[in-house]
Amino acid sequence: MTHTEIEITAELVRDLLRDQHPDLAGLPVTLGARGWDNQLWRVGEDLAVRLPWATLSADELLRKEHAWLPALAPHLPLPVPVPQRLSEPSERFPRPWIVTTWVPGTPADRAPATRAAEAADTLAAFLTALHRPAPEGAPAGRGRGGSLGDSAEGFAGQLASAVELGLLPDPDAVRAVWEDAVAAPEWEGPALWLHGDLHPANVLTDDGTFCGVIDFGDLCAGDPACDLAAGWILLPDGAIDRFYDACLPTADSATRRRARGWAVLRALSGILIGEAGVRGRPGGKPSWGPPARTSLGRLIADGRVVRPGF
């Protein structure tokens, strides 16, 4: 992570709004969250400001959201942060930033979904609406939505780090799930729109089910298995089959196997980021660890069951 040298405060946000969007400058400004790429500040009741702060790539990701998400958002069945205004670098803040709609809810890493059937149906409906063929010129993923085998080096590094830290009781079982996923046939369908980053901190909950999806910085086109991994990461126990049955187009066995591989990558990443948070290291988020460990346990247990057609 590369933190910006400028301290982002409510006063700075108000000054930036006064400079570029004076009609919003009088609204209350409160901190929403400090994410991996951006800080989120709520503006009034209905808007938010997102400013890049911790990665050099955040500028490009915000511009991508502003370019593509407004056309996708009206077709999605859950609220998403729709970009309203793109703000250019200035002397006060030398990076682009955006004004979006505010999406209420609690991130699922802090309030996991508990109503299994409702959550499975809601997540399936969202991905069914999103997973449409992407147009020519749609953005490619940065390590998302392509061939799962391209992430083999990253998997090996994450696995080794987790083993070294004593975080995996059965690394061979994790490796078996991964190897089965990589051996599955590749996606041969059209490149579909993907969120690309459906982990618990990017999906919001209310009353035990999902109520919003945020952070479309990894929006891209590719293999839907990348997003279908969210079923393993986000849903309560016993909901995965209902989720797959409700998703359209119906995922074949190869796509489900690849999805399990993407889920293993997401779970290992969450375990390591969660452990870094426990140890007080930069970029660490303690709340990421528990859901990641739970999902990895589910994947391992499922991987030991021989199912017809899998």
pLDDT tens, position by position, 154-198: 999 999 999 999 999 999 999 999 999 999 999 999 999 999 999
**Residue 203 φ then ψ, to 5°:** -125, 130
Q: Is residue 304 scored above 60 in pLDDT?
A: no
User: How many angstroms separate the CA atoms of 251 and 253, rounded?
Assistant: 7
pLDDT of residue 303: 64
User: How many angstroms separate the CA atoms of 150 and 283, rounded?
Assistant: 25
Tokens of 101: 């709609």
CA 46 to chain centre: 22
Say if CB 260 and CB 177 are below 8 A apart: yes
Burial (CB < 10 A; 0-12, 13-18, 19+), residue 27, is middle
Say which residue the tokens 């452990």 belong to: 275
Model pTM?
0.94
Residue range 234-275, pLDDT digits in tens: 999 999 999 999 999 899 999 999 999 999 999 999 999 999
- Coil, strand or helix at 48: strand
Say if CB 87 and CB 18 are below 8 A apart: no
Q: What's the per-residue H, E or C state across 271-305?
A: HHHHHHHHCCCCCCCHHHHHHHHHHHHHHHHHHCC
Mean pLDDT of 280-303: 93
Range with lowest mean pLDDT among 37-46, 55-64, 285-294 = 55-64
pLDDT of residue 307: 40
Say if CB 90 and CB 103 are below 8 A apart: no
Q: Which of 131, 243, 252, 147 is nearest to 190 (CA)?
A: 131
Residue range 51-90, pLDDT digits in tens: 998 788 899 999 999 999 999 999 999 999 999 999 999 9
User: How many angstroms separate the CA atoms of 8 and 93, rounded?
Assistant: 9
Residue range 120-166, pLDDT digits in tens: 999 999 999 999 999 999 999 888 999 999 999 999 999 999 999 99
Comparing 266 with 3, the larger pLDDT belongs to 266
